[in-house]
């Protein structure tokens, strides 16, 4: 069974952390035949801007980031008035 069209967002100010998570997800994607697209962000404001036009199925979000921390970004997502507010967020 193949999962289709899974959109994943990774937001972390440390590129090495993004690389580690992305590497693991790609390995998982291959092992379990999952069709996904991985979007990466180093700035939570840019991530939230992309949230307007992209529907993510899961988000990996760093807590300690400059400008806007992960707590604030999560709260902005949870304050939305649609199904996007229910997205799983792993911090």
What is the average per-residue pLDDT within 57-84?
A: 94
Q: Name the pTM for this structure.
A: 0.91
Phi, psi of 71 (to 5 degrees): -60, -45
pLDDT in tens, 43-64: 999 999 998 899 999 999 999 9
Q: Count of CB atoms within 10 A of residue 1's CB?
A: 5
Residue 43: partners with Cβ closer than 8 Å, 6 or more residues away: 11, 13, 65, 67
pLDDT in tens, 8-29: 999 999 999 999 999 999 999 9
């Amino acid at each position: 069974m193949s999962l289709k069209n899974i959109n994943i967002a990774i937001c972390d100010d440390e590129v090495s952390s993004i690389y580690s998570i992305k590497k693991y997800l790609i390995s998982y994607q291959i092992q379990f035949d999952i069709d996904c697209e991985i979007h990466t962000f180093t700035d939570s404001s840019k991530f939230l801007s992309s949230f307007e036009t992209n529907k993510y199925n899961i988000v990996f979000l760093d807590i300690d980031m400059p400008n806007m921390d992960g707590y604030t970004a999560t709260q902005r997502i949870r304050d939305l008035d649609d199904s996007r507010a229910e997205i799983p967020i792993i911090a």
